[in-house]
Amino acid sequence: MRFDFIKCHGSGNDFPLIDARGIVLDDAIWAGVARALADRRGPVGGDGLLLLTDGDKTQAFGMRMFNSDGSEAETCLNGLRCVARAGFEALGLERAEVHLKTSVAHAELDRPLAAGVHTVRETAGPADLDVTHWPLSAPLTGLDAHEIVEQVIPMLPTARRFTAVAMPNPHLVSFDEVVDEDELVAVGTVCEAAPDWLPNRANVSFVTMRGDGIFVRTFERGVGLTDSCGSAMAASVFAACLTGRREFGVEMRVFNRGGLVLGQAESDGMVRLSGNATWEWAGSAEVDAARGIAGDLIVTRHYNDEIAAWAAVIETAAWIQAEPSA
């Protein structure tokens, strides 16, 4: 099968994006397409595969996101901005309700983060604090609560305290003065293994306070250590407000290795992110979904102006070089 796609990124979280409206394929085939196109060892590479899908009577269009391992995520907020831009351009819209796997999110065009940077505002939530919905089995962890806020989770190889937030995919968020990446990988690897107490896995983020904002580093479910994860940034924004480190209703800058977004959490659990949706290049490739292999890549266009606009954002962000780490 040959697929046309756009290689895009949101805050450094990069994906091939396929306009899948009108394309009917089994989920197993889409999973194979994701493994093929998102494979970093292949001709395209990415943190996952984005699909722009058909809408219905209440949503103009939808989004599906498959991780690089072929698993499907409930959402991907960096990816949502890219899909929203594609949907806006295809349908001539400036805002829409977007159908996700288990929820609906609002997206609309926003003022540019910087000159030449296509920017989309997305609103997701409400954040869900009930870990039995994940499920995270309290009896097996030694915890006796439906909510985990600033608590040690005994089954994890760390004494860090975590706050559990679903956006709607599950996140464990820990705040500290530095980001210890070895520790983050160790914790993320345990969660990625789908232990009995956490059968659907979870994303893990270590967060540091940065001026009037926050810095987020994430081990993403189905991906591993990633430069950026939109839903992790949303969960971290909400957790920062929930634990009193930042204020509800106040916009903050949210930094990551891939760039930045603007974030704001409300006390009702809704979280708004405003960030880039950048096209890098367009092309097509042959895909063997059964084997998860892509080949015969043809690049038809480069979006050099957009690439340069985002590079300017990165170059002026001195906080990237100043990132505290252990």
State whether residue 28 is helix, strand or coil: helix
Check if the beta carbon of residue 83 is closer than 8 Å to that of residue 89. no
The whole-number pLDDT of residue 321 equals 38
Q: Is the pLDDT of residue 285 over 90?
A: yes
Give percent above pLDDT 70 in the chain. Answer: 96
**What pLDDT, on a 0 to 100 scale, did the predictor assign at position 66?**
96
191 a catalytic residue: no
Count other Cβ atoms within 10 Å, centred on residue 131.
23
Rounded to 10 degrees, what is the CA torsion of 187, 191, 196, 201? 160
Give the pLDDT band (50/70/90) at residue 257: confident
Q: Is the pLDDT of residue 316 over 90?
A: no
Q: What does each C-alpha distance from 60 to 92, 218, 308 come to in angstroms?
A: 11, 31, 31
- For 2-108+277-321, CATH number? 3.10.310.10
The residues near 35 (Cβ < 8 Å, ≥ 6 apart) are 68, 69, 70, 292
pLDDT: is 171 or 323 the higher one?
Answer: 171
> What DSSP string describes 36-77?
HHS-TTSSS--SEEEEEEE--SS-SEEEEEEETTSPEES--H
* pLDDT tens digits along 171-229: 999 999 999 999 999 999 999 999 999 999 999 999 999 888 999 999 999 889 988 89
Residue 65: band (very low, low, confident or very high) from pLDDT cuts 50, 70, 90: very high
Alpha helices by DSSP H, listed for the chain, are 27-37, 77-91, 138-141, 181-192, 230-242, 304-315, 318-321
Judged against a pLDDT cut of 90, whether residue 143 lies above it is answered with no
Alpha carbon distances (Å) from 252 to 90, 155, 213, 234, 262: 31, 32, 5, 11, 6
Q: Which of 8, 82, 191, 229 is catalytic?
A: 229
pLDDT band at 325 (very low <50, low <70, confident <90, very high): very low
pLDDT, one tens digit per residue, over 19-58 is 999 999 999 999 999 999 999 999 999 999 999 999 988 8
Note whether 20 and 286 are within 8 A (CB). no
- For the chain, the domains span 2-108+277-321, 131-275
The rounded Cα 184 to chain-centroid distance in angstroms is 17
Is 216:205 a contact under the CB 8 Å cutoff?
yes
The predicted model gives 2-13 an average pLDDT of: 96
If you average pLDDT over every residue of the chain, what do you get? 93
Q: Is the dihedral of CA 164, 150, 320, 188 positive or negative?
A: negative
Position 309 scores a pLDDT of 96
d(CA 78, CA 73) in angstroms, rounded, equals 12
What band does 322 get if pLDDT is binned at 50, 70 and 90? low
The dihedral sign for the CA sequence 243, 247, 249, 255: negative
The answer for residues whose C-beta is within 8 angstroms of residue 318's C-beta and 6 or more apart is none
Exactly one of 76, 82, 191, 241 is catalytic; name it. Answer: 76
Q: Could you tell me the pLDDT band of residue 313, with boundaries at 50, 70 and 90? A: confident
Mean pLDDT, residues 275-289: 98
Q: Do domains 2-108+277-321 and 131-275 have the same CATH topology?
A: yes
Listed residue (20, 104, 28, 40) closest to 294, CA to CA: 40
Q: Is the dihedral of CA 304, 306, 309, 311 positive or negative?
A: negative
pLDDT confidence band for 317 (50 / 70 / 90):
low
Tell me whether residue 229 is one of the annotated catalytic residues: yes
- Classified as helix, coil or strand, 209 is strand
Q: CA 326, CA 315: separation in Å to the nearest integer?
A: 23
d(Cα 62, Cα 20) in Å, to the nearest integer? Answer: 10
pLDDT of residue 88: 98
pLDDT at 326: 47
- pLDDT the model gives residue 56: 86
Q: Where does residue 2 rank: exposed (0-12), middle (13-18), buried (19+ CB within 10 A)?
A: exposed
Percentage of residues in the chain having pLDDT higher than 90: 83
Residue 324 has pLDDT above 60, yes or no: no
Regarding the domain delimited by 131-275, which CATH topology (the fold level of the hierarchy) does it fall under? Diaminopimelate Epimerase; Chain A, domain 1 (3.10.310)
